[in-house]
Amino acid sequence: MKITSLLALLFIASNTISQTWSDDVAQIVYDKCAQCHHTGGVGPFPLVTYSETTPMAAAMASAINGERMPPWPPNNNYQQYVHDRSLSPTEETTILDWIANGTPEGVAANTPPPPVFSTGSLLGNGDLELQIPTYMSKATTSDDYVCFAISSGLPQDRVIRAVEIVPGNSEIVHHALIYLDPNGGNVTDTVGGNCGGPNSPTTELIMGYTPGSSPMVLPSVSPLKMGMNFPANGQIVFAMHYPEGSYGMYDSTKVIFHFYPLGETGIRPVSTARLLENWTFSLPPNQITSVSDVYPNVGTLPSDFSLISVFPHMHLLGKSMEIYGILPSLDTLKLIDIPDWDFEWQDFYFFKNLQKAEQGTKLHADAVFDNTAANPNNPSSPPVTVGAGLNTTDEMMLGFMHFMSYLPGDENYNMDSLLNLSTVSLIEESQVDKLFTAYPNPFTNGINLYSPNLKSGDVLSVYVYDLEGRRIARLMENARLTSSELLLEWDGTGEDGSTVSNGMYYISVRLNGELSNHRVIKH
Ligand code: HEC
């Protein structure tokens, strides 16, 4: 008897010391909480170090049990996505057990090194960077929605392989949607505070940013290269959302595009479209109403498609949304189920495996709206009739998707690993460029080339080439440096003294024999 209870005690004791911060919990918190919960991040307090995390233990347990944190609205039993933010069941138990056991630290020296969060870009320099002017949020007691139309000055058509949105002020950018406007018809709208997006029908949503979301990297390495077209002189429209209470704070968000090299072959063209949309519904007050849509409206898909992502969109009265296809076999192609819609957390969800919507499929979206007083997000008290529209107090029912024509084998690609490989190759390429920064880019009258990474004694040549490889200007040739910093300026004058025409150029830097190229745009 005595032995059994001793054993039981031993068992309990060994169980209680099994979860420690250093050995079990730190890495999970780094991976699943800290990307938002760090100083300067969107989370209201940091969760990075042991001393930051332990005082929050009770709140963490409540947020995890209440399924509020990490924010991840999709139902993972329905479909799986890359960049899944949710806790796996084991991770969840590990954190909760650790909290229940009084948050033991373990051996501090064994704690894995905390992640470093850059406020800038993750992917590094791209080929085209467009930034909104510094804007002061007007959001006092309601949110501020504004749109900025920025022309790209892109001299020729390019193919996008990655897009990164870098918030200027990550504490106040609640979301940013980036649209491509090929015809340049949209204008900046910061007056009414209710611009939900461009209203020109030719614009295409490219991607969106919400706190904690990842850059959009398309697979760009063999065997799968995907790209989206960016037409010459296309305009970008930023639809920005600043939350209530951010009044007086400043932001200047930018988007960085990474293009395939000119002439790259074998790229599968990707499109985005709001395939599912319903603009004719009306939501009577004090009722729960279902709204649906199908695509195509008449008949079924005329050929096979590979679906890459899905982005369900509703406003404040949204309650749930399910998007799926009915295949010719009458089986269901499950795309997304958001059982508990949260306007604050919406995203493009990229499938872990491309979803084959074969010829003969019909796509469906079923949404439910709660226009009762019991909906805490209802903007009207008492509730009023609400119809479809662009303002946040109107409603929307949309399902955007990235998709492309299907090729046999598409459904077998492992998107997680292809995306990781593509991201690594992008970062490696952009690090070469980090030797120098060029600003502003695009430039009009003058561009500065700045490098803090040089050593006295380095030998440096800097040339400018056009896209055909012709040398346009010679800024430095085999110069031996006497300082560790260098600032060079180029005013766009060619070797023959004339001003070069607008377009894209390479600034080519040869440092101690090693070459790196920088793409810059004069406009
Ligand atoms: C994608 C960004 C993001 C991630 C990832 C995230 N949080 Fe949060 N968290 C927020 C934001 C923003 C708030 C404040 C607004 C809100 O409550 O939605 C918040 C609020 C909280 C709160 C206080 C409010 C509440 O709901 O209880 C706790 C506790 C919390 N987070 C814990 C965590 C833990 C633990 C993790 C990891 C398991 C985590 N968060 C992951 C963004 C994030």
- Render pLDDT for 153-192 as a digit per residue (tens, 0 to 9): 898 999 999 999 999 998 888 889 999 999 888 889 998 8
Residue 329 confidence (pLDDT): 97
Task: Output Rg (C-alpha) for the chain, integer angstroms.
Answer: 26
Q: Which atom of ligand 1 is nearest to the CA of 212?
A: 1
Residue 279 confidence (pLDDT): 94
pLDDT digits (tens, 9 = 90+) for 336-356: 999 999 988 888 999 999 999
Q: Which of 82, 86, 164 is nearest to 430 (CA)?
A: 164
Ligand 1 pocket test: which of 21, 60, 69, 343 has the largest number of ligand atoms within 8 Å of its C-beta?
Answer: 69
Residues in the chain: 523
Distance CA 230, CA 220 (A): 16
Distance CA 335, CA 81 (A): 10
pLDDT digits (tens, 9 = 90+) for 276-316: 999 999 999 999 999 999 999 999 999 999 999 999 999 89
Contacts of 419 (CB under 8 A, 6+ apart): 82, 217, 219, 350
How far does residue 369's CA lie from ligand 1's centre (Å)?
25
Q: Across the chain, what does the average pLDDT equal?
A: 88
How far does residue 68's CA lie from ligand 1's centre (Å)?
7
CB–CB of 183/200 below 8 Å? yes
How far does residue 87's CA lie from ligand 1's centre (Å)?
13
CB–CB of 148/237 below 8 Å? yes
Q: Which atom of ligand 1 is nearest to the CA of 59?
A: 29
How far does residue 340's CA lie from ligand 1's centre (Å)?
17
Does 412 have pLDDT greater than 90?
yes
Rounded to an integer, the average pLDDT of 103-118 is 83
Residue 514 confidence (pLDDT): 66
Does 255 have pLDDT greater than 80?
yes
Residue 417 in tokens: 């690993």
Locate tokens 């226009």: which residue?
371
Q: Which of 450, 458, 510, 461 is nearest to 485 (CA)?
A: 450
Does 1 have pLDDT greater than 60?
no
Ligand 1 pocket test: which of 29, 35, 36 has the largest number of ligand atoms within 8 Å of its C-beta?
Answer: 36
How far does residue 36's CA lie from ligand 1's centre (Å)?
8
Q: What are phi and psi of 310, to 5 degrees?
A: -145, 140
Q: Which of 309, 276, 290, 279 is nearest to 396 (CA)?
A: 279
Rounded to an integer, the average pLDDT of 487-513 is 83
Distance CA 167, CA 255 (A): 8
Would you tell me how many other CB atoms lie within 10 Å of the CB of residue 8? 10
How far does residue 143's CA lie from ligand 1's centre (Å)?
20
Residues lining ligand 1, CB < 6 A?
32-33, 35-37, 42-44, 56, 59-60, 62-64, 68-71, 85, 87, 211-212
Residue 432 confidence (pLDDT): 54
Q: Whose CA is nearest to atom 36 of ligand 1?
A: 33
Distance CA 125, CA 426 (A): 9
CA 340 to chain centre: 22
Locate tokens 């040549």: which residue?
461
Residue 90 confidence (pLDDT): 94
